[in-house]
Amino acid sequence: MAGREAVTPPGRELVARHDAVAGEFTVRCGGVEVARYAYRHEVPQLEAPRPFLHPVRTLAGHLVSGYRPADHVWHRGIAWSLPHLGHENFWGGPTFVRGEGYVQLPNDGSVDTVAVRTATEGSPADGVARFAHDLAWTTQSGRLVVREHRELTVRDAGPAWVLTSSSAMTNVGGAPTAIGSPATAGRSDAGYGGFFWRGPLSFRGGDVVTADRVGGDDQRGRTAEWMAFCGRHDDADATSTVLLLDAADNPRHPPPWFARSEEYPGLCPAPFAVEELPFAAGATLRFRHAVVVADGVSDPARGASLAGHGRRALAAEA
């Protein structure tokens, strides 16, 4: 791919490790493990087994991801999670049914790795750690509905580090379907699903930052290129920022966003929050996102600067 250049500042080495037995890809930056991607793991079917990033940490080592929190045990750090892929649930837990509310159905599918294509080992010469794999989306009844190719990169961006995620999802189920959310199924204010970040419990009540203001739950439903979340840590007198950015070539960009702060810390760009996204038989949908992880508090101005790092990382992988 064009446009790649060394981005790691002198003295802060990026080191990647792939453990094929455990099914984990980890990246350290300046000696700190900033990201661990688990792509093969044993969890109850109810929780919709799927790859996820956790733990995710800042360059100072502060944890900014939550795993199996008591309020929603199927939440997994950063993950592709779809609560409504047609009538199937690849989010976990109960499914929202119009007129009935949340109902536990036998429809919690799994996303399983078929083959690992790329996995950086050691310190990459270009300063970018890479992982790519092929995945199969299979319903709880055992029907293959989606094949996916996913690529992840991690790079140091000076004041922060940046993750990029690209996904090409192909409908192999033999029939047209649609991607929706509990909101499209009738539950108001619940347009969640897609590339989803869940923060640690200590971030509850934190700030949701957009290009023009700092708020909280009132930011939910806004349309934007990016959103950021600032939260405080229990174990340190510190605040960290996690920013998600939706690529300009994604379907329905810029998307509406799902954001929570008071009930739990969570963010996701959700192009299917308000209206279902058609997914024709044999069609391929492509999504790209960047996550910028930084120490410290952010306001709209700093958020815009961090978003610039994410934008440049996506451009380098285009």
Assigned domain for 18 exists: yes
Assigned domain for 225 exists: yes
Assigned domain for 4 exists: no
Instruction: Provide long-range contacts, Cβ within 8 A and 24+ apart, for 212-218.
Output: 212/300, 213/300, 214/299, 214/300, 216/261, 216/262, 217/259, 217/260, 217/261, 217/262
- Coil, strand or helix at 259: strand
Tell me the pLDDT tens digit for each residue of 33-61: 999 999 998 899 999 999 999 999 999 99
Is residue 269 packed enough to be buried (19+ CB in 10 Å), middle (13-18) or exposed (0-12)? buried
Contact 282, 170 (CB under 8 A): yes
Gyration radius of the chain's alpha carbons = 18
Assigned domain for 1 exists: no
Token pair listed for 214: 């700092």
**What CATH number does residue 127 fall under?**
2.70.98
Assigned domain for 9 exists: no
Instruction: Tell me how many domains the chain contains.
Output: 1
**pTM, whole model, 2 decimals?**
0.95
Assigned domain for 181 exists: yes
Assigned domain for 293 exists: yes
Assigned domain for 6 exists: no
Tell me the pLDDT tens digit for each residue of 95-128: 999 999 999 999 999 999 999 999 999 999 999 9
| CA–CA dist 147, 167 (Å, integer) | 10
Give the pLDDT score at 9. Answer: 53
Task: Quote the domain boundaries for residue 239.
Answer: 14-316
